[in-house]
Amino acid sequence: MKPIEACTFDDVLIAPRYSEVRSRSDVNLNTELGNIKLDIPIISSNMKTITGSKMAATVAAQGGLGILHRFCSIDDNVKMFEDSVNELCLMNLQNSQYNSLKIGVSIGVKEEDKWRFERLYNVGARIFCIDVAHGHNILVKDMLTWIKKRISEEKITLIVGNIATAQAYEDLVEWGADVAKVGIGPGAACITRQRAGVGIPQLYALEQVYDASLSSKRPIPIIADGGISVAGDVAKALKYADAVMLGSFFSGTTETPGKVFKNIDGDFYKTYGGSASGENKGENKFVEGIVKTVKFKGKVKYLVKELVEGLQSACSYVGAKDLIEFKENCEFVRLSPGAQRESKF
């Protein structure tokens, strides 16, 4: 069978069109993910070196969503969630019950993760990310079934991933997921494609999943996870997705877990690693992620501002007043190698 030709972010640009948007600041970036209402479509990645309590609270205070990682003991996970809620209370002066709805948590698919779910739910967590490398899997189906039987009275939001195909999306809908997280192998610290030879170029994966959502009887929102290297990639992803999850883009910021170090040249840096790295797994068996150093970038709020302004500019270039119009108006042009060089990709 002939391989499918698939493209990703660096292969396309957004074509400009007539616009009646007078100022990019007029563009509304609100989005919804199940029961979650966000002012901006930005989510911090649930990676050990990206989202702890400070990152989750800061991104939530900016109008986005922080999803805490799960690479710690259950007790530490509970404390991290409570610390995030308390920190967000100080930032927003809101009550803790409201702020608990702005912080997400993560679980896996092992038996111990059922206890992790119970503990986090009992302290107020209502946004859960079932977080595995391959979300189109019977273990994910089993965990979703267990949660759905366990929680019947109060609404929660179940984000599930990662997937990369239309069939996976359709199955997650059938299994009861509220949000689908898309991306297998595009992350800067992920080496799944090199190690396993598995993956789908991210923009093509998003397009296929989005097309499946258009014909679904119960369409669920889409999160684009991975492959974002510059602010313009966020706009390209949102042609098909409802929000983007950022890992490497936020790496090295003040709010990421870990200390700031200085190298022999006097440059400041922090460490950043993929969720499937040996450091996160706590073992040196076959892994699909790496750990590396990244330049210290300062406060994350400045990167969020850059993303927001870039996305608002993209909307204004295509005459879109909000993200719904952006999806309709955004059209891609395919780039030749020369056009990629011209675009500095």
Catalytic residue positions? 190
* C-alpha triplet 259, 260, 264: angle, nearest 5°: 130
Distant-in-sequence, close-in-space partners of 331: CB < 8 Å, separation ≥ 6: 14, 15, 17, 318
* Contact yes or no for 258/270 (Cβ under 8 A): yes
Contact in structure between 81 and 74 (CB atoms under 8 Å): no
Residue 89 C-alpha from the chain's centroid: 23
| Percent composition of the chain: helix, strand, coil (DSSP 3-state, to 5) | 40, 20, 40
Q: What is the dihedral of CA 73, 75, 78, 82, to 10 degrees?
A: -120
Cα dihedral 49/54/55/58 (nearest 10): -170
Sign of the Cα torsion 160, 162, 168, 170 reads positive
